[in-house]
Amino acid sequence: MRYFLELSFNGKYFSGWQIQKNQISIQETIEKCLSLILRKTIPIVGASRTDSGVNALQMFAHFDYFRVLKKKTFLKQINFILPSYILIKNLISVKPKANARFDVISRHYQYRINIYKGPFSSNYFNFPFLNLNFGLIKKAVFLLKRIEDFRSFGKDINCFNKCKLYSLTWKIRNRVIYIDIIANRFLRNMVRRIIGVCLYIGIRKINLLEFFLYVKSKTRLLDCPSVPAKGLYLVRIIYPKNIFNF
């Protein structure tokens, strides 16, 4: 049988989702706890390979097990032995071929920026520029939503680069900028680089013509900024309903 785990985590305490040599990863931590409870080596596949420091309000991973699991008992056991930085919120029975990574319809990330010093400033990225030009940022977003080749914003310009950007919005609430970005998939480092470039446009360090030529060239500029990971949250993942055993 195949199961989906719905979980959340604080990325501050991990080197990222994916297993890495001599590093503490979220994937390895969960796999060890699963194997301890189920008394069998249990590999898992995550919906997204988040970088070191990135947080998740909602994340999914799938695994296979030969027996029917009782959800309440399972959740109680695994959350008891997991570190407090990871919470398994749900255990969901899915179709045998359902895939937590490749069946995703959309991924929703949110980036949070402090524009004033405050008691929770350390939780988000501090960017104390009060003169951000949101009109220029809006024009940059207009251009971004009309491209599919995002190699300029990825870690590896030679990887598969086609993405569909569904939404990119900027809002200010309680002295914090909330940037929501939704797409079918993201290249590695793509979200943080897009936000970094938009911030540079907003403070007029990059003009719109330079930005247009930068995107059109399909190359990565050396001075193209990438914002820190600590303000980034994976907020929501959407799957087709037909993969669940409802």
**What residue ranges do the domains of the chain occupy?**
2-103, 106-235
Give tens-digit pLDDT for 171-229: 988 888 999 999 999 988 889 999 999 999 999 988 888 888 877 776 665 466 789 88
What integer pLDDT is reported at residue 26 of this predicted model? 96
pLDDT > 90 fraction of the chain, expressed in percent and rounded: 58
Known catalytic residue at 51: yes
Q: Which of 198, 183, 197, 194 is nearest to 238 (CA)?
A: 183
> Do 2-103 and 106-235 show the same overall fold?
yes
Would the pLDDT of 104 be above 90? yes
Structure tokens at 212: 């247009």
What integer pLDDT is reported at residue 148 of this predicted model? 84
Average pLDDT over residues 86-111: 96
Give tens-digit pLDDT for 54-78: 999 999 999 999 999 999 999 999 9
Would the pLDDT of 129 be above 90? no
In whole angstroms, what is the distance from residue 201 CA to residue 140 CA? 8
Mean pLDDT, all residues of the chain: 89
What is the CATH code for 2-103?
A: 3.30.70.580
In whole angstroms, what is the distance from residue 29 CA to residue 2 CA? 20
Domain 106-235 bears CATH identifier 3.30.70.660: yes
Neighbours of 122 (CB within 10 A): 10
Would the pLDDT of 236 be above 90? yes
What integer pLDDT is reported at residue 220 of this predicted model? 61
Would the pLDDT of 149 be above 60? yes
At residue 12, what are phi and psi to the nearest 5 degrees?
-60, -30
